[in-house]
Amino acid sequence: MKPSILQLNPILIPAISEKLHSLYNVHRYFEIADKEAFIKEHGNSIRGVVSGGHTGISNALMEKLPALEVVAINGVGVDAVDLNYARKRGIDVTATLGALTEDVADLAIGLLIATCRGICSGDRVVRNGLWAKNPHPGSIPLSRRFSGMRIGIVGMGRVGRAIAARASAFGCPISYTDLHAMKDLDYPFIADLEELARQSDALILSASADKAEGIVNAAILDALGPDGFLVNIARGKLVNEPDLVAALAEGRISGAGLDVFVDEPNVPEVLFGLDSVVLQAHRASATVETRTAMGEMVLASLAQALSGQRPDNSLTR
């Protein structure tokens, strides 16, 4: 008999979804109307859970799954899972570490270039017929050069390092902050975030953010200054969103490229009318290649845990 798996989020790669269903008895929890009745009937048989980084799994739900052996997160964020509780229960919690690195770093650089060069606002000018109506070169504001910008990176893990490599190729001086200096890096380490912002033309957030919250506030944005840019491809909660909205609306920073927000999918409507902002719908890893690799890692984690092995990407043992 196939092991029973509870799937909390859809998997967008058909081949991965088909393979999951071929190997396991999959219950698509996100499609079940009466979840309480389902858990009462099937909870005792669930051995694995597949979820996303944003959804995670609550302790309350895990408590109702006495046979649970593994929670496979289809993402890198595990702040929506109580790792200590899972560890006490002997539940493996895995994440797709490393699979997202290249695409997330690509989008970080893409957001910064799009923002400082006004790519999206320029596109709207052309699409709306405004260029033809006013072809004078001065009708569109001059933009900011990306090459050579001083880049401050918040969080120098896999993604932060990949961002640094890409920005360095554009001749950008790199500085960073993290919990501590990295001995294997030659980039300058600046312990104080406000000082890093003050010394940067653009601040890129790539920290894991499992515990940090609101660390980019009005003081940090003011240190970044009216010529500075903010890019966030990490977690929305790293930023004090009202402070960011105010800084953008008042021109206290020059622009922002944002893939993540505090209350997704709800985005402050003020941002919609600002040409200085480029917005994405939490899609840094949303390529066929990365989502396929992530799905394969989820399948591997389930197979390893349910056969009694320690999953390669277990965060709890």
- Active site positions, annotated: 235, 264, 282
Count other Cβ atoms within 10 Å, centred on residue 230. Answer: 30
Residue with tokens 């797709």: 96
Q: In the sheet that 46-51 helps form, which strands lie side by side, from edge to edge?
A: 25-28, 4-7, 46-51, 70-73, 92-94
Instruction: Determine the distance from the C-alpha atom of residue 302 to the mean position of all C-alpha atoms in its chain, rounded to a whole number.
Output: 23
Alpha helices in the chain (DSSP H): 14-23, 35-42, 59-63, 83-89, 101-116, 119-127, 130-133, 158-169, 193-198, 218-224, 241-249, 288-306
Alpha helices in 158-240 (DSSP H): 158-169, 193-198, 218-224
Cα–Cα dist 54/32, whole Å:
19
Beta bridge partners of residue 153, listed in sequence order: 176, 204
Cα–Cα dist 136/19, whole Å:
57
Cα–Cα dist 175/154, whole Å:
9
- Would you say 66 and 44 are in contact if contact means Cβ atoms under 8 Å apart? yes
